[in-house]
Amino acid sequence: MSRNYFITGGAGFIGSNYVSRLLERGEKVSIYDNLSRAGAPRNLAWLREKFGDTAFKLTVGDVRDAALLTVASREADVIIHLAAQVAVTTSVVKPREDFEINAQGTFNMLEAARLNDRKPVLLYASTNKVYGGMEDVEVVEDATRWRYADLPLGCPETQPLDFHSPYGCSKGAGDQYVRDYARIYDLPTIVLRQSCIYGPRQFGVEDQGWVAWMIIAAVTGHPLTIYGDGKQIRDVLHVDDLLNAYDASIEKISTMRGQVFNLGGGPDNTMSIWTEFGPLLEKLLGKPVLVKRGDWRPGDQKVFVADIRKAGRDLGWTPRISVKEGVGRLFNWVRENKELF
């Protein structure tokens, strides 16, 4: 029996990939998106070309419009809340807009779900930025990377929250509201704190989606700037692995409601942003990549690696796509679709 999926930000990178997966298996899908991101029209065109104009319902709307959001989602059995302002840098320049989209927009979505007689599942795409700079955690410098001194398996969900930057505050507020609506209103909600997601249909820019951005810049000949020493470590997660976690979360919602999970590549899928990624990218490209150097950017962590053992234990989920395989896939997609950039 198919379910009605309502996906805010459904024309974005993660959203369009999930819409494609859901349609392939016969689910009913509604997309709610304001189409403000440059890649959104391209992703919608791809979905229509692949599945036809009537395969999904589209509402062009903003999560700040509570009334429209409530009406558009009233048939939903499952809500995937992806719509967000996603750049830390933008949040610093436009903190009110960031708050209204991320914090108030998430509140609007929760209220729509609370007032919905179907009591839909609500999955919230949170972020590892809710942990802030983790200044209390010691890091050690190695030849090509930084690493945690005492967290070999990464940052656990029990790490104290520290909403550093307006973006961290707004996403963190949504994170805690979603968690609390499970407790106070018995809504079947789940919070997924995502790390560095990458994959096809990601139109990355310098301050968001760095793996895709660096590949796009290298393939198209755009200038690249590396900020800091290039040894910053991130755990990266391919979008296909992320969507497997979405499916697992929804299937297990009866026992996992109100829970919070870290979702990243974990310690087995880490990469420094240039000292290790650069040689991999140059090998794929077949020539050197010229880069400029810039100072450290505010709030740029030397290390973030998610401890994903809880998701493994409770959701039965683990990443399957290695860094090398996933980066190779994305590189090939960018090269084969240069006209999109």
- Annotated catalytic sites, by residue? 167
Centroid of chain to Cα 27: 22
Query: In angstroms, how far is the first alpha carbon of the chain from the final one?
Result: 39
- Distances in Å between the Cα of 124 and the Cα atoms of 12, 84, 225, 300 are 15, 11, 32, 24
Q: What is the DSSP string of 182-197?
A: HHHH---EEEEEE--E
- What are 217's two structure tokens? 């810049």
Other CB atoms within 10 Å distance of the CB of residue 324 = 13
Q: Rounded to an integer, what distance in angstroms lies between the CA atom of residue 220 and that of residue 339?
A: 10
Q: Rounded to an integer, what distance in angstroms lies between the CA atom of residue 322 and that of residue 219?
A: 22
169 closest CA partner among 95, 243, 232: 95
- What are 326's two structure tokens? 């996933």
| CB-CB contact of 63 with 83 (8 Å) | yes
- What are 90's two structure tokens? 């933008």
Q: Sign (positive/negative) of CA torsion 144, 233, 89, 159?
A: negative
Exposure of 41 by Cβ count < 10 A (0-12 exposed, 13-18 middle, 19+ buried)? exposed
Q: Rounded to an integer, what distance in angstroms lies between the CA atom of residue 261 and that of residue 143?
A: 31
- What are 215's two structure tokens? 């590949």
Beta bridge partners of 60: 33
